[in-house]
Amino acid sequence: MEKKTIRDIKVSDKRVLVRVDFNVPMNKLTGKITDDSRIRGAIPTIQYLIDQGAKAILCSHLGRPKGQVEALRLAPVGERLSQLLGRPVKCTPDCIGTEVERAVSQMKSGDVLLLENLRFYPEEEKNDPEFARSLACLADVFVNDAFGTAHRAHASTVGVADYLPAVAGFLMEKELEFLGKAMADPARPFAMLVGGAKVGDKIGLLENILEKVNSLIIGGGMAHTFLKAQGYDVGSSSVEDDQLGFARGLIEKAARRGVHLLLPTDVVVAREFSAGSIHKTVSLSGVPRGWMILDIGPQSIKSFGDELKGCKTIIWNGTMGVFEFAPFRKGTTAIANLLASLDATKIIGGGSTVEAIAELGLADRMTHVSTGGGASLEFLEGKTLPGVAALLDC
């Protein structure tokens, strides 16, 4: 999917509306940003516009407000962005209307303006044409640099493209380049490592990826359903009984296609779902009645690792265990450290996996860490993302 980018249009002295993803996590008590990686991710596009003498008008959502919520105003984001850019960033008290139009009219080349939270208006998520037109009238050009919202057909991701020439920013371009190449023409062997809680959330991903990979490795909570489908007693572990048939079918399809499908061979079990619970490592045939699986065991780590060592392209979506509990993060930690050491294309997607990689300090040792949780998942499912489809073709 070849799309025009910010390099393909003239932006000098133009008013450029940029959809960024500044939906950053914030401390509810202090109102402070706890992770500014999404802001940092937009810096290359913003800096390019500044250097080209454009007037950069940034828009984003923050959280899920119902109406105007003081705690979800974008002022703290503007303050952090100003620090990162080393120049003032003016924040408007609204995202549309005469006051915003006045602020835009006063901009000079190289200025940066941050509009207020788009989701203060329900029309944003409804892709209301009038709301989209009100945003579009602020600018001459539209740049979408928010891959994390590209799977949503909202006014600021799709609607404005009906009124303005629309191109990709550098972050959007990077996401499409890495994910697109991995799915269309990966260096082989190609492996997908899938974890997380539920099979039901990733049926589309599993079905689509099975057509493309050489190896499929399944861990995390979703592995319980596959293990039960194979006849193992998984104790009180979470299982999607309505997906047992799907799991059996996927295992059979992998065998027919010659895809090497790996599941855990040993697991870490606990009496209860808590960080302080009694826990131990057991074989698949030794899960005690009433205990639950919360991580993969050392044999599984080794077998997964041995498979990954021979691969040239690896996509990882979903943790191997309950990473938020220290005793059950060993599987995820071991796999992350292994990937960091490999000479391969390593793409990390999915919110929980990205957070784990960041917490372990390994993000800069991965080839690409996706900024779009839901968007990257839908892309890997083979779906068309509305926010990408709305951009101009090359």
CATH of the domain at 86: 3.40.50.1260
Query: Do 119 and 140 belong to one domain?
Result: yes
Query: Do 124 and 236 belong to one domain?
Result: no
Chain Cα centroid distance, residue 362: 16
Query: Do 188 and 273 belong to one domain?
Result: yes
Query: Do 14 and 150 belong to one domain?
Result: yes
Query: Do 85 and 195 belong to one domain?
Result: no
List per-residue pLDDT tens for the chain, 394 residues long: 689 999 999 999 999 999 999 999 888 888 889 888 899 999 999 999 999 999 999 999 999 998 889 899 999 999 999 999 999 999 999 999 999 999 999 999 999 999 999 999 999 999 999 999 999 999 999 999 999 999 999 999 999 999 999 999 999 999 999 999 999 999 999 999 999 888 988 999 999 999 999 999 999 999 999 999 999 999 999 999 999 999 999 999 999 999 999 999 999 999 999 999 999 999 999 999 999 999 999 999 999 999 999 999 999 999 999 999 999 999 999 999 999 999 999 999 877 898 899 899 999 999 999 888 788 889 988 899 999 999 999 9
Residue 38: active-site member: yes
List 53, 110, 204, 374, catalytic entry: 374
Query: Do 157 and 215 belong to one domain?
Result: no
Residue 330: active-site member: no
Assigned domain for 391 exists: no
List 3, 19, 38, 228, catalytic entry: 38
Assigned domain for 189 exists: yes
Residue 286: active-site member: no
List 198, 248, 253, 312, catalytic entry: 198
| Owner of token pair 């809680």 | 197
- Check: CB of residue 294 under 8 Å from CB of residue 321: yes
Query: Do 76 and 137 belong to one domain?
Result: yes
Q: Which of 171, 206, 235 is the last residue of a domain?
A: 171
Query: Do 282 and 138 belong to one domain?
Result: no
Query: Do 149 and 199 belong to one domain?
Result: no
Q: Which of 171, 204, 226 is the last residue of a domain?
A: 171
Query: Do 230 and 364 belong to one domain?
Result: yes
DSSP label at residue 291? -
Query: Do 115 and 156 belong to one domain?
Result: yes
Residue 256 exposed, middle or buried by CB count within 10 Å (0-12, 13-18, 19+): exposed
What does the pLDDT look like over 153-203, one tens digit per residue?
999 999 999 999 999 999 999 999 999 999 999 999 999 999 988 898 899
Assigned domain for 1 exists: no
List 53, 305, 351, 382, catalytic entry: 351
Detail the DSSP E strand segments found in the chain.
Answer: 15-19, 55-59, 90-91, 112-114, 141-144, 166-168, 190-194, 215-218, 260-262, 266-270, 279-283, 292-296, 313-317, 345-349, 368-369
Residue 329: active-site member: no
User: Residue 122, preceding bond cis, omega within 30 degrees?
Assistant: no
Q: What is the domain range of residue 11?
A: 6-171
Q: Which of 171, 187, 205 is the last residue of a domain?
A: 171
Strand partners, 279: 270
Query: Do 278 and 346 belong to one domain?
Result: yes
Long-range contacts of residues 209-214, Cβ cutoff 8 Å, at least 24 apart:
209/315, 209/380, 210/250, 210/253, 210/254, 210/257, 210/259, 211/257, 212/183, 212/186, 213/259, 214/188, 214/189, 214/190, 214/259, 214/260, 214/311
The count of structural domains within the chain is 2
